[in-house]
Each structure stands twice: as C-alpha cells, then as structure tokens.
Chain A
Amino acid sequence: MTPSIRSVSILVAVNLGRVIGTVVAERKYEGLEGLKLLVVQPVDEQEKDKGTPFVAVDTVRAGPGDVVILVGAREAALALDEAFVPVDAAIVGIVDSVDLDRRRQARAR
C-alpha cells in the first residue's frame, strides 16, 4: 500500500518520524537543487505511526527505516546552509534511542 501523501501536516513542534521513502523531482524551485527529499511517516514517542506521511529535506544523511528528529516551519529552512529555501520540514537528527520513563513504558505494553 503506497502511503498517500495527502496534505502536508504543518509540522510546528519538533517531532519524530520514520523515513519511508525518497522523492525525486527533476523540475523544482532552484533553491531545492541538490537537497535530498525524504518521505517521512510521523511517529509518536513509542515510535508508532501517527498521522500522514510528508516530505522533509535531509541534513544528516538519514536513510530508509531511520527514526529521525524533525523540525518544522521556519526553523526547517534555518537548518540548511543557504537561507530562504522553501522547505517547511527538515530532518536534523537520527535517533539512536528514545528512553521513556517506566510509567510511559508500562502504558506501551
């Protein structure tokens, strides 16, 4: 089932996601040249899928299956070397682990 990338949810707060694909776009705004565009499935703190996949620019060489840290809105553009690139979501970290407190883990089981 290919994920339907419906309307991009405006990612305001920093959050977690899993890389599930890449976007290839030959013709695009020149500011987006050379940027890696990855399809990200938002996940909650238990790394369970939550919400609609969207496209984010990668800044840390994330790959498929990686759980990543995302920043949205204006801060996404600030994550890139060149300012004022029209991006609204950027991957700024690859998660090694999310360590939750016992109460929250208990709820996960």
Chain B
Amino acid sequence: MRVCRVVGTVVATAKHPSYHGLTLLVCQPTDDEGRDVGDTFIAVDHSQAGVGDWVLVNQEGGGARLVFGAPLEDKLPIRSVVVGIVDRVDTGA
C-alpha cells in the first residue's frame, strides 16, 4: 500500500469496458510527512477522493478485483485502487 497525494485526474472517453464510469486519479507517492517521493502513477478511485487529498492506494490487482467485486477469475485489468483517505500518519517515537 502507498500513501499518496492526489495531484490530478485523467479524462479518457475511449477506455477498456472495465474502466467505464470509474475516476482515474494521478497519484504522487509521498513519505509520512507528505513530501513527494518518486514518480506519479494512475489509480482508480474507490473512496470519492479528490485532487489535494492524501490517500491510501493498494497497488495489487487482486485487491482491485476484490474492491470492485469482480470474482477473482473475472477479467478486471485494474491494478491500483484508492482505498482510503488519509487523515494523519504517525511514525517515529
């Protein structure tokens, strides 16, 4: 799972059927204090997240299939899903 800042949205009308009706968010991985770490990637929203939100992203296809209710053997080509809105991250002593 990654903690990321939502820095944008992707609009695409021509999409694979599994992506219809889903919101695509541009996610910037961050450290526990919200500083950018590494490259952005695209995740499908499942928490009504918006630009600026700090979110929890699951980057594993099985999780995506679980979240979207597709039976595991169903064919869901989605890998990254926003599964939570982060309020705070407490690390260290």
Contact = CB atoms under 8 A, between A and B. Distances in A.
Interface of A: 12-16, 44-45, 50, 59-62, 69, 71-76, 78-79, 83, 90, 92-101, 103-104
A74 B61 contact: yes
Interface of B: 7-16, 18-19, 24, 26, 28, 39-44, 51-52, 59, 61, 64, 75-80
Nearest to A77: B77
Given A69-B15, A74-B61, A13 B10 contact: no
B51 A101 contact: yes
B12 A14 contact: no
Contacts of A71: 77-79
Given A69-B24, A83-B75, A90-B77, A14 B14 contact: no
23 contacts: A13-B43, A13-B59, A14-B43, A44-B39, A45-B8, A61-B14, A62-B14, A69-B24, A71-B79, A73-B61, A79-B75, A90-B77, A92-B18, A93-B12, A94-B15, A95-B12, A96-B11, A98-B9, A98-B11, A100-B7, A101-B51, A104-B7, A104-B28
A92 B77 contact: yes
A16 B9 CA distance: 12
Q: Is the interface of A mostly helix, strand, loop or mixed?
A: mixed
A92 B77 CA distance: 8
A14 B22 CA distance: 14
A13 B42 CA distance: 7
B15 A101 contact: no
B77 A76 contact: yes
Contact of A69 (B12, B52, B61, B64): B12
Given A60-B16, A92-B15, A14 B79 contact: yes
B79 A72 contact: yes
Nearest to A66: B14
